[in-house]
Amino acid sequence: MDIAARISSGQGDFLLFAVTPPRKSTPAERLPEIARATVERLDHLDLDGLVLYDIDDESSRNPEERPFPFSPTVDPAEYRADHLRQWRTPVIVYRAVGKYQGEHLRSWIADQDPGRTLSVLVGAASSEASPAVSLAEAQAMSAELNPDLLLGGVAIPERHSRRENEHLRLIAKQEAGCRFFVTQVVYDLNAAKNLVSDYRYECASRGLAPVPIVFTFSVCGSLKTLEFLRWLGVDVPRWIENDLRHATNPLAASLEQAAATAVELIDFCRRLDVPFGLNVESVSIRREEIEASVELASQLAGHLRR
């Protein structure tokens, strides 16, 4: 069963891989070969879907200096339409709704085939921003223009650790039309388990069926990547930082940890009967980190499908 059918029927057990489109500054003639390299690298994994992020300048979210300077990327919807036609399974296209004019979003939403495209709509990075289209408006557009288009929302276990209400935010998003959630990168297993558990029992008490939560994993092989993850709000544990400074093979250690965390979450979600998906994110542009991400996805595919 494909991912859209699975999500429509509240089922999980799927595997995604997430990439960021190339920078806007990339010469146009290089885009096809970059897309082809991505498809070739991922083809053998038999993924249930590809995730395309939409990178916003999140500097309004965080007053600290961004570890990597912000560099606008190709619009994920255009990149997909122009260069990823050969991708076989559905694509989950992120849309940072604050970046777009209403008409642009409206026509894109109306044009999508719900069997081939899913979308994660992301609100403005800061509540102070006043975007042309709000998240609620984008959700309403989708319900009106393309009611079968499956919309996802963002889930942040770290926020649950601090405020203990992320499960209620998920349920509110679900009531606003979200049919699945995607987390940011998970390093803190207990935080993720706490969120799943609170969400599951809150759903039960309201007579709601839980929707799939897609857990995102990545490898972290350099201090720069670590710094960037932290800037994005991920609690990357200190031992990983120490590994990066001292260990002979921190990338292997990070891969092993991500796989172990994923396996525990799989077992946990199965036990609690919460549908889940897995998403491997390639954060860095370093070749060895990309290859380690592919290896992580391969290990998780093996575990999921055995």
253 binds its own copies (CB under 8 A): yes
Q: Give the per-residue contact string, 154-173, with its own copies (x = CB under 8 A; - = no).
A: ----------x---------
The Cβ-side half-sphere exposure at 244, using a 13 Å CA radius, reads: 18
- Give pairs for 131-140: CB < 8 Å, separation 24+: 131/97, 131/98, 131/99, 132/98, 132/100, 132/101, 132/102, 133/97, 133/98, 133/100, 133/101, 133/102, 133/105, 134/97, 135/97, 136/176, 137/97, 137/102, 138/95, 138/97, 138/105, 138/109, 139/176, 139/177
96 binds its own copies (CB under 8 A): no
Which of 188, 218, 265, 275 touches its own copies (CB under 8 A)?
188
Which has the closest alpha carbon to 49: 95, 110, 4? Answer: 4
Which of 32, 72, 102, 237 touches its own copies (CB under 8 A)?
237
Residues 279, 182: contact at Cβ < 8 Å?
Answer: yes
Conformational region of residue 189, where left means phi above 0, alpha means psi within -120 to 50, and beta covers everything else: alpha
CB of 211 to its own copies, least distance (A): 19
Give the residue with the Cβ less far from its own copies, 18 or 240: 240
Give the residue with the Cβ less far from its own copies, 92 or 274: 274
Give the residue with the Cβ less far from its own copies, 180 or 187: 187
Which of 41, 193, 224, 303 touches its own copies (CB under 8 A)?
193
Which of 40, 103, 264, 288 touches its own copies (CB under 8 A)?
264
CB of 64 to its own copies, least distance (A): 19
- Contacts with its own copies by CB under 8 A lie at 164, 187-190, 193-194, 196-198, 200-201, 204, 237-239, 242-243, 245-247, 253, 256, 260, 264, 267-268, 271-272
